[in-house]
Amino acid sequence: MQYPYAAAYKAGWNLAEEFVNMYIGHGGEFFKAGTAQPSINNAKGVATLNMLKKISRFK
């Protein structure tokens, strides 16, 4: 196998699941501390999207 990598890149739930896994791997937090306010529009969120884009060529 040339690229031993598996990911779910189907639109919707599958892609969202990959984002969640990778965002956590980048050390991201989903909510601002002590609130229920989402907090993914940040450097770790951008890094996650860039990584997903970069590895999508291996599918």
pLDDT tens across 4-59, in order?
Answer: 666 676 767 788 888 999 999 999 999 999 999 999 999 999 999 999 888 877 76
| Residue 49 near residue 40, CB atoms below 8 Å | no
Q: Among candidates 28, 33, 21, which has minimal Cα distance to 46?
A: 28
- How many H-runs (helices) and E-runs (strands) does the chain carry? 2, 0
Give the separation between CA 23 and CA 34, rounded to whole angstroms: 19
